[in-house]
A and B are shown apart, each in its own frame.
Chain A
């Protein structure tokens, strides 16, 4: 199966690879997927006092589309408020990366990762 230019670009030059301290109260960590299914995404968001996502990092075990989807969302969430970040839909990701039907689940996983990271962040604020 041929990958789109955008998937290849993100795969070859993944943006924002890395790790924040998961115990930092301004960091929300989302880990979704399972090794048995062939993909695990870890997305971390660093949120300012005003509720704006200042920085994002990811690590992903998975196919090229999974890596590209998570790389793309780290770019997209930066500068967004957490409510705005929750607006990002898997269909937007799939469209941007021109994912073929068999790879749509990668974009779903990326959307889930955002939600999981924000939930984790919100949990820490209580």
Chain B
């Protein structure tokens, strides 16, 4: 067993060897390295063909037409393009957008920017289990609402939103629906027509493709218009300029092709491993699963070990790569805003660990992790004054803490 064991597959994944091989064919001398926009020679044509094949694979996974796929540099750019592009185009129709407090920073920070530009944003609270209450969403809709953005699967807790129900509502009301599917595509079925989404963000590096490439699905019927956010040579039907990175597109295409083929069996295998991990960790006293377990992708387990601080636990688990929140925010000392939005106490939010199991995780690694976590939790609780107080029966919420 190779260490450290990687259980941070929601932060990023390694390229699948099949993806890496395909991608390399487009990097090297023997391969195809033309500029897909070069219309005048075979190098360009071959690159263009390869890019189009990739587009077809990406479209197929989400039930879209290849013409509805716009390449981007990643899901962050897709989210920026979807929200800013639609808001800027439809601003005469209305200036109100709705999203959820547990969205990825790429959505939340983009919304903050739109607020600075004069748009009004409603940030909805999810339920305690991480799911969005449809009635709350419906109540937030105004005549000026032009777009609703809800992520399909949350990156920290893995909870799945009922996109089909949300899509039914937005379609009835004539409001655009954007969905960040970076954490769901390739892990659970995504169908843009069943979900009635108009815009959908995708990432390659979350499902064994390369970093630096993503896509935005832009519905053609009924047609969704966007104002471009990166201007230049008019690539991607004017929606996103910049030379396409053929090898990355090919890599993303291959990753999506494999995902479509293997998703069902892989989900079952990964789900079993996750359940084994959960059973093993539930033996420990004072552990709390964050987010709904039923509506959750198979690979995610987000769990709080009460009275142990998350960062010190990560340090203790140095042979297992895990995260205490989303990778984007883990340089800050703030507890996870996602768990806070679920109504978790600061203590439990500070004590959370996200395990995300992936294609290359083995049962042996799960067994090792369970034993390691048990041992380290014991050691850290011995160090923890809060654990002592809990054992003495002191209610921590009754203590007057010296805030700092």
Contact = CB atoms under 8 A, between A and B. Distances in A.
Interface string B315-348: 1000000000000000101010000000001110
B402 A38 contact: no
B262 interface: no
Contacts, number: 83
Nearest to B308: A61
B232 interface: no
B386 A63 contact: no
Interface stretch (B208-216, B364-372, B377-385): B377-385
A79 interface: no
Contact of B383 (A14, A32, A36): A14
Which bucket holds chain A's interface residue count? 20 to 34
Given A37-B403, A38-B309, A60 B331 contact: no
A36 B386 contact: no
Interface string A4-41: 00000001001001010000000000011111111111
B386 A40 contact: yes
Nearest to B401: A34
Given A1-B331, A35-B401, A40 B383 contact: no
Contacts of A34: 401-404
B311 A59 contact: no
Nearest to A36: B346
A78 interface: no
B226 to A, nearest CB: 38
Nearest to A43: B385
Given A42-B385, A59-B388, A105-B404, A35 B346 contact: yes
Contacts of A105: 404
Interface in A95-116: 102, 105, 108-109, 112, 116
A36 to B, nearest CB: 4
B396 interface: yes
A60 B388 CA distance: 11
B307 interface: yes
A49 to B, nearest CB: 28
A31 B345 CA distance: 21
B13 to A, nearest CB: 23
A38 B333 contact: yes
A40 B333 contact: no
A3 interface: yes
Contact of A35 (B312, B350, B404): B350
A66 B335 CA distance: 16
B307 A61 contact: yes
A44 to B, nearest CB: 10
A67 B312 contact: yes
A24 B311 CA distance: 34
Given A17-B383, A61-B385, A67-B383, A36 B315 contact: no
A59 B385 contact: yes
A112 B402 CA distance: 11
A108 B308 CA distance: 21
Given A32-B402, A33-B401, A34-B404, A59 B331 contact: no
Contacts of A39: 309
Contact of A63 (B307, B309, B335, B385): B309
Contact of A33 (B346, B396, B404): B404
A30 to B, nearest CB: 10
A1 B331 CA distance: 8
A61 B384 CA distance: 5
Contact of B347 (A36, A41, A67, A112): A36
Nearest to A30: B402
B241 to A, nearest CB: 36
B387 to A, nearest CB: 8
A74 B37 CA distance: 66
A46 to B, nearest CB: 17
Nearest to A71: B383
A64 B311 contact: yes
Given A34-B401, A116-B402, 11 more contacts: A31-B402, A34-B402, A34-B404, A35-B347, A35-B396, A36-B345, A38-B311, A61-B387, A62-B312, A64-B311, A102-B333
